Structure 1
């Protein structure tokens, strides 16, 4: 139960918890902190009312293996946000450095991300999927939460496909985004 401040009437809303803790960091400070935190690169696709949509995301994270759940966020500034936020199913493409063209295409605004008909197809269930990427998961959206200018989406993995697997304990060919630059992880970046 939230305590009511002594100067407030019982019918007044309780103060927002963030304000009660003294405010928050500035947007520039928040960006500076996360610029130094690399993220794996994924592309999210869905079928929208006007056709397929895609966006590049570094916010994909696994939550649970049983049931198989993942989360990601979609900024409202993305042209794909309305379709992805409203979709009941989506495809999450988990990329490696061989997929840099797909990552860049889905991250570029103002273009037809599906113009190259040889780079994608539709699953039997209708969702657009980029072919040849390292791996993808077809997911059912199970929850949405508005958070600032974004929507956080939780999804249950229904189907998976791996084109390029990596052995446990090996570095692989991971694609990460760090400080506004694409990076390839490899043996040179392993610390063990």
Structure 2
């Protein structure tokens, strides 16, 4: 799976169980109703926080946020609110979860379903609020490395179509 490039997010939970985690197992599920999913190891600190709070937020990181991605991937980072002390953020209106400043987009979600899948849980979240930032350069994870996707980079087919059958 290391050859499959993915976007990089930070999943966060506020309330009584504040926590954050870098995640690339995140995607859109449905437009109507708006649903997303994220996959979280059942041994991760964030797993319990999402399960208890029933809400989470997503910050889609920009290419300039490699340090933020590394911080929330570091298992030695502080617990609780202290892990957010070195990162600029604002509380989500609906969840109170930290939304990372400078991200490409933010979502606040309410868990509608938890599906156990191997050593992970798939949390399906109904999007309560979504917003986008001003940047275009995305942060990607590919072959074990964080990489910035430059502004304006495209991989369209010569005729401009993608994924046609």
| Match among 6, 28, 39 for residue 6 of structure 2 | 39
Which moved further from structure 2: 134-143 or 179-188? 179-188
Whether the aligned pair in 1 keeps the contact of 2:57 and 2:92 (CA below 8 Å) is no
List aligned pairs for 1:110-189, cutoff 5 A: 110-112=76-78, 113-116=83-86, 119-125=88-94, 126-164=96-134, 172-186=136-150
Whether the aligned pair in 2 keeps the contact of 1:97 and 1:184 (CA below 8 Å) is yes
Whether the aligned pair in 1 keeps the contact of 2:64 and 2:148 (CA below 8 Å) is no
Structure 2 CA distance for partners of 1:190 and 1:127, relative to 1, 3 Å: closer
State the distance in 1 between where 2:128 and 2:85 align.
27
Coordinate RMSD, CA, aligned: 2.0
State the distance in 2 between where 1:44 and 1:70 align.
12
TM-score (norm 2): 0.82
- Which structure has more relative contact order (CA 8 Å, sep 6+)? It is 2
Where does structure 1 lack aligned partners over 5 or more consecutive residues?
A: 1-33, 166-171
Structure 2 CA distance for partners of 1:121 and 1:43, relative to 1, 3 Å: same
Where does structure 2 lack aligned partners over 5 or more consecutive residues?
A: 157-165
Whether the aligned pair in 2 keeps the contact of 1:48 and 1:83 (CA below 8 Å) is no
Q: Alignment partner of 2:84: what SS?
A: coil
Structure number, greater radius of gyration = 1
State the distance in 2 between where 1:185 and 1:133 align.
14
Residue of structure 2 equivalent to 1:31: none
TM-score (norm 1): 0.71
- How far 1:189 sits from its partner (Å)? 5.5
Deviations 1:149-189 (A, max 9, x none): 11100001111121225xxxxxx311110111001112696
Q: Alignment partner of 1:133: what SS?
A: coil
